[in-house]
Structure 1
Amino acid sequence: MKYHIIIFLLGITLFFGCEEDEHKPYGSDGIAPGPVTIDKVINTPGGAVIYFTAPTDNDVLYVKATFEDNLGNKREVKTSAVMDSLNIEGYGEMGEYPVSVYAVDRGENVSSAVNISISPLEPPVQLILPTIVGEVDYGGIKIHYENLLQAEVSLNLVAYDSIQDQMVYRESFFTSQPSGFYSFRGYKSEKTRFGVYVEDRWGNQSETVNFEVIPIPDEFLEKSLFSVFKISGDKSFNEYGFNTRQMWDGRWSDQWNCGHTNFEPLPHRLTIDLGTTAKLSRFKLYQRGGSELYKHGNPKRFKIYGTLDINELPPYDPANPNAGWTLLKECQSFKPSGLPIGQVNSEDIEFQNKGEDFEFDVENLVEVRYIRIENLETWGEQQVTVIGELSFWGEITSTQNN
């Protein structure tokens, strides 16, 4: 009987003892840490770097800064307590802004605030705006820009809409390159007012810079008229189950949809009858996509030739395979990321999904019907050529019957 009483009393003691014990995060003492010590503040374009010393509490986990940006958005930035600085960015205007800094422990206990002020320098959207230069282009306007801080921004195009009697947003170009250009196209050859403004990933926008141009004629050549015109020295692009029609079927970004040669020493040549006579303004070459982007047999360095009448070419001479052809352009493919072969990022993928644009000299436009592509070097340094898709634009002078 005594034994059962002892067990009963022991159980009651353990029960109430457990009730009184609070569950705390492992390593937390349940006490808010001491305040952060601010060592210095270095203002940066669109933000600031706050250097600090974290409190000595053993359970301090991270340091955070809370603030409201110039757009009125409440934001928070965190960093590990073992670090010595916080990077605040995303302000679109210069000025003086309050920031509160806290230490937080493993139990999410928060220290008292240390209130400071930061004064961001001129932000990227404002720095880029005055560098923007616009010039007339095929079917639209070409924008040149400088982005020395390599900020992630978009250049946004607006154009005048006569029906709405106002400027209307049309499209955006995203970049983090230190400098470059981009062509906004698809507009008629008539006087058009364009505007361009810069926007960052936090929604800050610059003012709009305006241009008025008459776009150069830039008609899309109908691909259903394209066909291969096989001449001596040309390679077959029908190998390994692929075929030439896949190079102008309106599909790309797919590694199984392309023209593909055999593995033979470069250069490789392909002749195309456009089925249309035109003063070509430009063309796009879309790489074989998927896992083959910027490698394998995708053209890296190549030439484009043209002729109006293929019957006027001299007899084929292996020592001078392009005799009689007019050299229209020497082309060098571009990789935005600059990453090594086999590595691509989202900017590379987006760039190739839009097609890589190659323009012909506006001062020396040549009327042609036949195009000859000569591939000299591939991205993968392989002796094979693959082409995902080809598109051509220009001033169409006549459409022929094949």
Structure 2
Amino acid sequence: MKNYIKLTIFSLGIALFIYGCEVEEPHKPYGSDGVAPGTVTVDNVVNIPGGAVIYYTPPADVDVLYVKASFEDDRGRPREVKVSQVIDSIVIQGFGQVGDYNVTLNAVDRGENVSTSTDVAISPLTPPVQLIFPTLVGEVDFGGIKVSYENPLEAEVSLNVLVFDELQDEFVYRESFFTSQASGTYSFRGYEAVKTQFGVYVEDRWENVSDTIYFEVTPIPDEFLDKLLFSVFKIQGDKDFNDYGFNETQMWDNRWSDQWNCGHTDFITTLPHYLTVDLAVKAKLSRFKLYQRGGSELYKHGNPKRFNVYGVLDINSLPPYDANNPNAGWTLLRECESFKPSGLPVGQTTAEDYDYQNKGEDFDFDVDNLVEIKYIRIEVLENWGNINGTVIGELSFWGEISQ
């Protein structure tokens, strides 16, 4: 009897389970009616360099979630762009060649139901990589080449350098410089002072590339000065860079982009501030890098914005110090102004700003007027934070060493 009751209860449970499975309706996304939305109506097409902007009216269905554009680029690669249903346009980018291309628009609702397709033709204008390429100019520089460019659309691109490798009997990739500036100049360095064949081309983030410009030059000698030999040579009028627990030697310890590794003055004396460095060797300096104090202090605080660089060979040749003419006897080598790629106000920085300063900000000396010196004097006239203090993350110098 007990076994009969157990069997009956078990059978009843199975029957209820099967009935429940039979009557249970499949789950649907919240707000979905299971019906495909209406079609997308194209209102206008504005062709732009490397793409187009398609203006449209989405269907009136209340459950529409997004509008999707599907297309193949000029290399036959399938691409897709999605935008919210509240937006009335969709931007198509990434074409490397002018031409006529088809784009398919679909509306998609919350249930992933897809509308009937709407086809639209676009005709992208000349892409940025091809607009930039004719403006490239390469010339010899200290330790390498200097490349200038015009990028009026401020497209995100890279300038890529190739060097001919005699062992491989072909040009090989060496390095890149990323930029979105409207124009500029960048020096690719670290090459020996021997005749070298270089190639430069432009590439965008969709891997579209321009033609390559080739030229042969012999880089100007560019020796790196050993920073282990540097020392502060303090003369009257100079500031102390050892305040607040920082040490002047941190300005040439091969560490930068670190908020807590820099030379630091007090906040009392008004600018200009002076720093004199004994380079320990005689040299005709070709260039130098100033690295800002990094971290959250980048492009603010006491980081130099406008400053002058002076040099002298024999420190004992200087006349007596005169507060009204503190640079008497020194030779002005360069007037400098720090550059901020983003152009944003103080306190706001971008990844491009950090990348630019992490590489060190380059300042070249006049190649036609190089002066042999042994001591460097930096005169800070203005800083990014508009305060009384001065901070320097790192200093590096290059040139033709004579002793």
| Offset of residue 206 of structure 1 | 0.7
Tell me how far apart the structure 1 counterparts of residues 278 and 365 of structure 2 sit (CA, whole Å). Answer: 18
2:310 is matched by which residue type in structure 1? Y
Aligned match of 1:5:
none
Q: What pairs up with 1:1-16 in 2 under 5 angstroms?
A: 16=20
Asked whether 1:185 is paired with 2:189, we answer yes
Select which of 74, 80, 101 maps to 1:76.
Answer: 80
> Partner of 2:282 in structure 1?
277
Q: Report how far residue 40 of structure 1 moved.
A: 2.0
Q: Does 1:140 align with 2:179?
A: no
Of the three residues 314, 319, 323, the one matched with 2:319 is 314
Q: Does 1:104 align with 2:84?
A: no
The letter for the 2-side match of 1:289 is G
1:352 partner SS:
helix
Report SS of the residue matched to 2:300.
coil
Deviation sequence 1:21-60 (CA, Å, 0-9, x none): 2321111101111111112222111011111111111211
More displaced, 113-122 or 278-287? 113-122
Q: Which amino acid aligns with 1:87?
A: V
> Quick one: which of 294, 309, 314 aligns to 1:304?
309
- State the TM-score, normalizing by the size of structure 1: 0.94
What one-letter code is carried by the residue in structure 2 that aligns with 1:292? Answer: E
Q: Describe the SS at the equivalent of 1:246.
A: helix
Instruction: Say yes or no: does 1:348 pair with 2:358.
Output: no
**Structure 2 residue aligned with 1:380, among 366, 370, 385?**
385
| 1:3 aligned residue | none
How far 1:392 sits from its partner (Å)? 0.2
Distance 1:140 1:351 in 2: 19
Q: 1:394 to 1:13 in 2, by over 3 A?
A: closer
Aligned-partner SS, 1:207: strand
The letter of the residue matching 2:402 is: T
The yes-or-no answer on 1:162 pairing with 2:157 is no
Aligned to 1:240: 244
* Structure 2: tracts of 5 or more residues without a match: 1-11
Distance 1:19 1:255 in 2: 66
Look up the equivalent residue of 2:339 and give its one-letter code: F
Deviation digits for residues 352-402 of structure 1, max 9, x if unmatched? 00000001111110000000011111100010000000000011111xxxx
Partner SS state of residue 349, structure 1:
helix
Residue 230 of structure 1, aligned match among 234, 237, 241: 234
The answer for unaligned runs of 5 or more in structure 1 is: 1-7
Q: How many residues are matched?
A: 390
The code of the aligned residue for 2:272 comes to: P
2:361 paired with 1:365: no
Match of 1:27 among 26, 31, 49: 31
Query: Could you tell me how far 1:18 is from its partner in structure 2?
Result: 8.2
In the alignment, the residues of structure 1 paired with residue 345 and residue 220 of structure 2 have an alpha-carbon distance, to the nearest angstrom, of: 37
Quote the residue 1:126 is aligned against. Answer: 130
Structure 1 residue 19 displacement after superposition: 3.0
Name whichever of 387-396 and 156-165 sits farther off.
Answer: 156-165
Worse overlay, 225-234 or 383-392: 225-234
Compute the displacement of 1:116 (Å).
2.3
| One-letter identity of the residue aligned with 1:344 | T
Q: CA deviation at 1:16?
A: 4.2
CA distance in 2, matches of 1:332, 1:195: 30
Measure how far apart 1:14 and its partner are: 12
Pick from 273, 281, 286: which aligns with 1:268? Answer: 273
Q: How many Å separate the matches in 2 of 1:368 and 1:299?
A: 23
Secondary structure of 1:364's aligned partner: coil
1:284-303 equivalences under 5 Å are: 284-303=289-308
Match of 1:63 among 63, 67, 73: 67
CA distance in 2, matches of 1:126, 1:289: 36
SS in 2 for 1:120: coil
Counterpart-to-counterpart distance in 1, 2:159 and 2:307:
30
The share of aligned pairs that are identical, in percent, is 70
In the other structure, the counterpart of 1:200 is: 204
Q: CA deviation at 1:71?
A: 2.7
Structure-2 separation of matches of 1:42 and 1:26: 36
Taking the aligned partners of 2:217 and 2:186, their CA distance within structure 1 comes to: 16
Query: How large is the RMSD of aligned CA atoms in angstroms?
Result: 1.7
Report the TM-score when normalising by structure 2: 0.94
1:329 matched to 2:358? The reply is no
Whole-angstrom CA distance in 2 between matches of 1:72 and 1:247: 52
SS at match of 2:266: coil
How far apart in 1 are the matches of 2:375 and 2:303? Answer: 22
Distance across 1 between alignment mates of 2:334 and 2:125: 44
**Residue 174 (1) aligns with residue 173 (2):** no
The answer to which of 287-296 and 210-219 deviates more is: 210-219
Q: Is it true that 1:46 corresponds to 2:50 in the alignment?
A: yes
The alpha carbon displacement at 1:351 in A equals 0.3
Deviations, residues 293-312 of structure 1 (Å, cap 9, x unaligned)? 00000000111000001111
Note the 1:205-216 alignment, pairs <5 A: 205-216=209-220
- 1:108 and 1:134 map into 2 onto residues whose CA distance is 53
AA at the equivalent of 1:91: F
- CA shift in 2, pair 1:28/1:237, >3 Å: same
What is the distance in 2 between the residues matched to 1:19 and 1:175? 62
Offset at residue 72 of structure 1 (A):
2.8
| Secondary structure of the corresponding residue to residue 316 of structure 2 | helix
Question: In terms of mean alpha carbon deviation, does 31-40 or 85-94 score higher?
Answer: 31-40
